[in-house]
Amino acid sequence: MLEKIKSLSQCKVLIVDDEHASRILLESVLEPHVVCDTASSGREAIRKCRLEVPDLVLLDMNMPDKNGLEVCQALRVSPETANIPIIFITATMDIQVENACWEVGASDFVMKPINASTLTHRIKTHLENKTRFEYLQSMIYHDQLTGLYNRTYLAKETPQTLKQVARDKGSVGVILVDIDFFKPFNDNYGHLEGDICLQRVAEIIENTVRRPKDVVIRFGGEEFLVVLPYSDWDGAKVVSQNIVKAVYDANILHQYGAEGRVTISAGYAANDALDIISSSLSGVIKEADIALFDAKDNGKNRACGFTKR
């Protein structure tokens, strides 16, 4: 769902320095303003960033296991951590070092000895820019009624996910969902109640699809699309059945619907990510759409899978 812009006090900064005294000093400067976490080595920093992505990394240049340049480079190549602002802390800054930092993706520099006021203001500036950008991005990529992702997100961001799954030689499942008898719902209860119904169904689907990389998209009108990275046909089947059951069990009143309640129909399909990339995502969505037609044709309130005829 749509999120409000994050406040500075909610932002998490990861301080990476192999010297204990330096970590304590930096924490004491920043803790009144942001949430702080620390790492004592480059490897620990990379591990922590992958487990829980921070809003900013404050990175010492010289460390024994992996230096700052290597850490920055590792974070930039991973899609999950590629956009974290990274501020280097360094005692020496000649042209070669500065250029090397820019080349691996540095966002800024702070020189030792640390000036507390300068450090705080630079971090505030980067965090404010990041949170504003994320909020604007959420407005672009989210449906304003339901808060789900929209078709712009599907077109712009999903291809990156497909490439990642393809590199891992995995498959992707898709589910196309349609609310049964939605026109009679709008005609009899009004469009305001129809909007509330859409919001409720969207919430149920999103709560049922629980894996972090799974994405729920408002596809259009009363249709929703679920993209399931690293899921095969059987996995898509289970999720589809769970969604259909969850909406049925919510018992949303619909006098002109099946059994007096709102129900949905779902069609699912799956394919290798490499095949989806080569033939386009629209191909597997079309297969799910064919299966959705079968679900509608066979009585609604059910999930059907695509099988080649």
N- to C-terminal Cα separation, the chain: 38
In angstroms, rounded to a whole number, what is the distance separating the alpha carbons of residues 206 and 217?
9
Inter-residue contact 143 to 52 (CB < 8 Å): no
**222 carries an active-site annotation:** yes
Please report where in the chains the tokens 């006090």 appear, as a residue: 9
Provide the phi-psi class of 306: left if phi over 0, else alpha when psi is between -120 and 50, else beta.
Answer: beta
Q: Which residues contact 180 (CB under 8 A, 6 or more apart)?
A: 257, 258, 262, 263, 264, 265, 296, 300, 301
CA 290 from chain centre, in angstroms, equals: 28
| 281-297 vs 158-167: helix crossing angle, rounded to 10 | 100
Helix (H, G, I), strand (E, B) or coil at 220: strand
Q: How many CB atoms lie within 10 A of CB 90?
A: 18
Q: 229: cis peptide before it, omega within 30°?
A: no
DSSP 7: P
Task: Out of 52, 80, 157, 222, pick the active-site residue.
Answer: 222
Catalytic positions are 222
